[in-house]
Structure formats: structure tokens, C-alpha cells
């Protein structure tokens, strides 16, 4: 049986060893075959491997695996779906007890065993969404365990979450949801970023079939599903990949290269072809078996640079004498080329904090091949500006305008993620200076600015209604706050601007460069005011944005506009229904033949303190 197995998979094994395999999970790991289960393991440094599990009372005496080159095999007649297991790995000196790197599911923590599971369920096949409009991506980032819980604080499972999350995303106007990592991980407070089971859906929230149900329901509402994925490093827990067969297998043998002091983890060694096969097959696995629509690659900087978070040890330098990780760069290019070829509708997103060029350019012209990059520079500049006392904002006005200097260098996502509302950074609401009313007003105007400038959008759960506390992974969001008008008003405002973003073609010009964006006035430092226009790709529609970052209200304020026509206010963040003071511009706004800034015409507006206004054109007039 062993010889037949390896004969059947000889080509796959060759590709695995060459770094060219994209389906390693189809022959490695545990595979149930109706009346028996095959177990296959890659462990080249082992001298003996025994299988232990619930089916043999955790005694591997008569369950020695047979060796084939660097692989180990056993067929077990009495191992069935739901049984748990591990590998006892002998290396001549020690006995290591490891979970299966290719297991599809795991026992619930703190148990660390792998679980036999079959994904071959024709009644629950999920496929990627096709032909979904990518002109606007409005992403809601979520940590499943703390979005909403049962009354006793226990987790909802994936299936229970499905209708609640889907209906909420529809109500709020998000067309994408991004899940923080769902690969198996041992420590809740790592949020899933320190992984032991890359192919194992975390059992915290239910089974793989439950998760498929969740994805199906989201897809039925045309909501894309994105997952956070962590291919740069892995957890050091003894049952995981670390020193897997007694030696460095998935990591580099040099500790200074393998060590990741930033997170207390171990870096993957991208120079090993088998590691490339393991990781690229893993990305394919999530896209193919679960129908995921996008992958956000975490900590790309840690893959691009061998000295990330470390002292500049000479051992970390490449053959050219610098710290660029050549093997990591090649891995990213190979990854994106593979996914683009196999899944043309899937989007690949880089969470990259560096100024590495061409992140979202095709590999064939020297790029990394991602579809989008998180704009961390925009996020840092904007949040540092918003935290300022308004009296000092005039001196830092360029923090709002400078990001437009490079806005079209890459295909950007503007992220306000979980990282910005933890570890003493305060919630988004509490970042804003001033009294309670002013905090809400500034959070609303911040969203007008964020949604107005080019770039796809991402916001972490809770920010949409002004979550008061920092995010806590161990308890649900403060949904009780929605009983109060200021929070429910904030939620309504976010929903309104989200739906405008999804449905107005003026937001679809991100890739048009400066053809889709024009400043009305970028240089009003003294009043900390911005005004600009977003044009639709065909230039037939446009929207005018005016944002006042001070507590000063202005009456009859002239704003430049591009077209001589009547205008109508469609969003005013100071509207009383949102919790504002109702300093609105009612009825038609009549234009004037009067140049203001770079615009040939103008309109007169009432501009609320800490207010953001969005206007749309109505009737085209002849110039008087």
C-alpha cells in the first residue's frame, strides 16, 4: 500500500521537493477513505515515526510508520473522522510529540491534538465569488471571538454567527469582510497571528462545515470574504512546526536568522523549496477548499527584510551585502503569480509597513504582484493629525495633503485596523481631542475625509459606532452603547456614508489617478480646511467634499467648484440625526461666477464646526 501511494504521488512529491507544489495538502496529512485513513508525513531528519491517537489509546507500539525517502506513511483501518492523533518522532536522541502540519482540524484548545476531518462534502462546496465589482472595496475587519458572544460570554460558532454578521454587513454597507487569522493557534491573546496549524481551521468557533456555511451566507449577499494569513513566521509551541523532526525543518538552522524577537516566534526559511510548497499550497487550500475571495498577507516587511526587528548582524546580509531577503522576495512573487493564475478573481493584499517599490505592480515588470497594499503612511499621518489639539493642526496640515503626493504610486487600501485600537492607543473615538460631543463630531468628519480621498477602505469592527473602550479580544463589542443617541447616530452616519460609497460612481476612479481627483483648496492651513472633488471615471458624475477640522463654524463661506450648476448637500456630518447640531445647507445651493483657488466657479456654504460635507451637482446652468 505504501509503495502504491508513493508511486501514485511521485510527481507531487517531486514538485514538493522542488518548491513547485500547489496541492501538498491533497497527499500529505490524514486522509479518510471510507473504511481506513492514510497518514503521510514529511520528516526527513526522523529515524522513526509512530502514530498515536484516540484509536490506539495513544500507544504507538504497533503503529510505526513506513519510510519512503523523506516521507513517512501508515494506513490505519480503525481511524475514523473525529478521531484525534499526533506523531511521535524519534531522531536518535529525543522523542518529539507533534501535531500534524497538514491537519484540516484540531481538538479544542488547550488540547493540541490534530483531528481527522474530510473536506469532501458535496453538499457544502463553496466557490469564490465571480465578477464582483472591485471598483469599491469597503472592508469590515472582524475578530470572530469578540464581535458578538452568547449571553454567558462564550463564543458563537461560525454557523450561529452567519445570519447576524451577514445582516449587519448588509445594513451597514460593507461589501467585504476580513477575518483576523483563523488557522489554529494556541494562545487567545495572540489573536491568531502565532500559528501552529496552518491548514487547520481553528476549532474555537466550530467545524469546517460550519465555516463553509458562514461563507455561503456571506456570498449569497455578494459579500467578499478575506482572511488574514501569516506566512512569515510560526509559533514555537512544542507541538507545532518548531524543530519539527528534531532539527530545523521549516526554519533556518542558524538561530539568529530563524529567530523573530518582535513576536517571540520563528521565521520560515524561504530558501527551502519544501517550505515554499507548504506555504503556497496553504494559500491555495484556503482559496480552493473554502472559497475565500482574498488573502491579506500579514507582516510583509518581515518577509522582505532579514533584519526586520533585529540588530544588523552580518549573518543576516545577502550575497549583495544588504538585508533584503532574496528568498522571501522570490516567495512573494511566486505566491502572487500562482494565485493570479489559479484564481483570477481573488485579491491579494500586502500589509507592508515599508517603502518597498512596486508592491502592486506585476511580477513581470519587477513588482511583487499584489493587488493592493495597506497605506500605512496615510494611516500614521492621519491619526497623528486627528489626535492634535485643533489649535495646533494648522502647523501639521501637510499630514492630510502629503499622502496625495503618492496616492497613485500603488493600489492602496486605507486601513484603520485592530492594531490602532489596542495597547494603550485608545479607541478611535478616544483619540479625538475635546469633550464628548466634539469627539463624535471629529470621528464623523474623519470618515468623510477617509471615504473622500482615493483608496479602498478598511475599518475595524466597533469603529463604525464609536466604540468607547480599546478593543478587547476576550469580550464582545459594546453593543449596549447603541441605546444612546450619540452612538446610534454615529452608526447611522457610517451606514449612510458607506452606502453612498458603494453606490456613487465618483468613488470608482481610484485607478484614474489625478483624472479622478482635484483639489478645490488644499492649502487652507490657517483654517485647517480641505475641499476637493471626486470625478467618476467617465467624468459625468462628481462629488464635492468640504471638511473643517476646527471647532469654528463658518457662514457664507466660499468654496470653489468645477461646474456652473446647482448643488445639493447629500451628507452633512453635523446633521442632528447623526448627533450633530444641525448646521445644514438646505435646498438648492446656487453657483457664482467667481474663481476660488483653482476652480472657475464657487458656491457659498454654511460649514459646521468639526464638520464634513458632501455635495452633488444637480441642474447645469448657463453662465450669467
**Catalytic residue ranges:** 298, 351
CB atoms under 10 Å from CB of 325, counted, come to 24
Taking the mean position of all CA atoms in its chain, how far away is CA 294? 9
**Range 61-79 burial, b when 16+ CB lie within 10 A, else e:** eebebebbebbbbbbbeeb
- Classify strands 66-68 and 259-260 as parallel, antiparallel or unpaired: unpaired
**Range 123-148 burial, b when 16+ CB lie within 10 A, else e:** eeebebbeebebebbbbbbbbbbbbb
Answer whether 33's CB lies under 8 Å from 51's CB: no
What Cα–Cα distance (Å) separates residue 153 from each residue in 189, 473, 475, 476, 566?
Answer: 16, 12, 7, 8, 53
Helix (H, G, I), strand (E, B) or coil at 114: strand
**Range 254-276 burial, b when 16+ CB lie within 10 A, else e:** eeebbbbeebebbbbbbbbebbb
CB atoms under 10 Å from CB of 591, counted, come to 22
**Proportion of the chain in helix, strand, coil states, percent, rounded to 5:** 35, 25, 45
Cα maximum dimension of the chain: 96
Which of 289, 286, 293, 150 minimizes the C-alpha distance to 218? Answer: 293
Q: CA 366 to CA 357: how far, in whole Å?
A: 9
Which of 357, 261, 252, 363 minimizes the C-alpha distance to 304? Answer: 357
Half-sphere exposure of 305 (CA within 13 A, CB side): 16
Q: What is the DSSP string of 190-222?
A: GTT-S-SEEEEE-GGG--HHHHHHHHHHHHHTT
List 507's β-bridge partners, or say none. none
Which of 514, 507, 515 minimizes the C-alpha distance to 570? Answer: 507
Which of 109, 140, 333 minimizes the C-alpha distance to 223? Answer: 140
Taking the mean position of all CA atoms in its chain, how far away is CA 218? 16
Kindly provide the residue ranges of all beta strands, DSSP E only, lying in 202-344, ordered along the sequence: 224-229, 233-234, 259-260, 265-267, 294-297
Using only the alpha carbons of the chain, give its radius of gyration: 27
Amino acid at each position: 500500500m505504501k509503495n502504491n501511494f508513493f508511486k501514485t504521488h511521485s510527481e507531487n512529491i517531486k514538485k514538493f521537493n522542488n518548491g513547485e507544489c500547489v496541492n501538498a495538502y491533497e497527499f500529505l496529512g490524514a486522509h479518510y477513505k471510507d473504511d481506513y485513513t492514510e497518514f503521510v508525513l514529511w520528516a526527513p531528519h526522523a529515524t522513526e515515526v509512530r502514530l498515536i491517537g484516540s484509536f490506539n489509546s495513544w500507544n504507538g507500539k504497533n503503529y510505526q510508520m513506513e519510510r519512503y525517502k523523506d516521507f513517512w506513511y501508515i494506513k490505519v483501518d480503525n481511524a475514523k473522522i473525529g478521531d484525534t492523533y499526533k506523531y511521535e518522532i524519534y531522531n536518535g536522541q529525543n522523542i518529539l510529540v507533534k501535531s500534524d502540519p497538514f491537519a484540516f482540524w484540531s481538538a479544542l484548545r488547550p488540547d493540541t491534538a490534530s483531528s481527522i476531518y474530510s473536506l469532501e462534502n458535496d453538499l457544502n462546496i463553496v466557490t469564490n465569488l465571480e465578477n464582483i465589482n472591485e471598483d469599491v472595496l469597503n472592508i469590515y475587519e472582524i475578530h470572530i471571538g469578540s464581535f458578538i458572544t452568547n449571553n454567558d460570554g462564550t463564543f458563537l460558532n461560525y454557523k450561529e454567527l452567519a445570519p447576524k454578521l451577514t445582516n449587519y454587513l448588509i445594513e451597514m454597507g460593507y461589501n467585504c469582510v476580513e477575518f483576523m487569522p483563523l488557522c489554529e493557534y494556541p494562545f487567545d491573546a495572540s489573536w491568531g497571528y502565532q500559528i501552529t496549524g496552518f491548514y487547520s481551521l481553528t476549532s474555537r468557533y466550530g467545524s469546517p462545515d460550519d465555516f463553509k456555511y458562514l461563507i455561503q451566507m456571506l456570498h449569497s449577499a455578494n459579500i467578499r470574504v478575506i482572511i488574514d494569513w501569516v506566512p512569515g513566521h510560526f509559533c514555537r509551541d512544542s507541538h507545532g512546526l518548531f524543530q519539527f523532526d528534531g532539527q530545523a525543518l521549516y526554519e533556518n538552522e542558524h538561530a539568529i536568522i530563524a529567530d523573530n524577537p518582535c513576536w517571540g516566534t520563528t521565521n520560515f526559511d524561504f530558501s527551502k523549496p519544501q517550505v515554499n510548497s507548504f506555504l503556497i499550497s496553504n494559500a491555495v487550500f484556503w482559496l480552493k477548499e473554502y472559497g475565500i475571495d482574498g488573502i491579506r498577507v500579514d507582516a510583509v516587511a518581515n518577509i522582505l527584510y532579514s533584519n526586520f526587528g533585529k540588530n544588523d548582524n552580518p549573518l543576516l546580509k545577502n550575497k549583495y551585502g544588504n538585508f533584503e531577503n532574496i528568498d522571501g522576495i522570490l516567495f512573494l512573487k511566486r505566491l502572487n503569480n500562482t494565485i493570479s493564475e489559479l484564481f483570477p478573481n481573488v485579491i491579494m493584499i500586502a500589509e507592508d509597513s515599508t517603502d518597498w517599490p512596486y508592491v502592486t505592480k506585476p511580477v513581470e515588470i519587477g513588482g511583487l504582484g499584489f493587488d493592493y497594499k495597506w497605506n500605512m503612511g496615510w494611516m500614521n499621518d492621519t491619526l497623528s493629525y486627528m489626535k492634535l489639539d485643533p489649535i495646533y493642526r494648522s502647523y501639521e496640515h501637510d499630514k492630510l495633503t502629503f499622502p496625495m503626493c503618492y496616492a497613485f504610486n500603488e493600489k492602496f487600501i486605507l486601513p484603520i485596523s485592530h492594531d490602532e485600537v489596542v495597547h494603550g492607543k485608545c479607541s478611535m473615538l478616544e483619540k479625538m481631542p475635546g469633550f464628548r460631543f466634539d469627539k463624535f463630531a471629529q470621528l464623523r468628519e474623519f470618515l468623510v475625509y477617509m471615504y473622500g480621498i482615493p483608496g479602498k477602505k478598511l475599518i475595524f469592527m466597533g469603529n463604525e459606532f464609536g466604540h468607547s473602550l480599546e478593543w478587547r479580544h476576550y469580550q464582545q463589542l459594546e453593543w449596549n452603547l447603541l441605546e444612546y443617541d450619540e452612538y446610534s447616530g454615529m452608526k447611522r452616519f457610517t451606514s449612510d456614508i458607506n452606502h453612498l460609497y458603494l453606490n456613487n460612481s465618483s468613488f470608482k476612479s481610484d485607478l484614474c489617478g489625478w483624472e479622478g481627483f482635484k483639489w478645490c483648496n488644499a492649502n487652507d492651513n490657517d483654517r485647517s480646511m480641505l475641499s476637493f472633488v471626486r470625478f467618476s471615471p467617465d467624468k459625468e458624475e462628481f462629488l464635492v467634499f468640504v471638511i473643517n477640522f476646527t471647532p469654528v463654524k463658518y457662514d457664507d463661506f466660499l468654496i470653489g467648484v468645477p461646474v456652473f450648476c446647482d448643488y445639493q448637500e447629500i451628507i452633512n456630518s453635523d446633521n442632528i440625526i447623526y448627533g450633530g447640531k444641525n448646521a445644514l445647507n438646505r435646498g438648492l445651493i446656487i453657483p457664482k461666477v467667481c474663481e476660488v483657488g483653482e476652480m472657475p466657479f464657487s458656491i457659498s456654504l454654511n460649514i459646521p464646526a468639526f464638520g464634513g460635507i458632501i455635495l452633488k451637482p444637480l441642474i447645469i446652468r448657463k453662465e450669467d
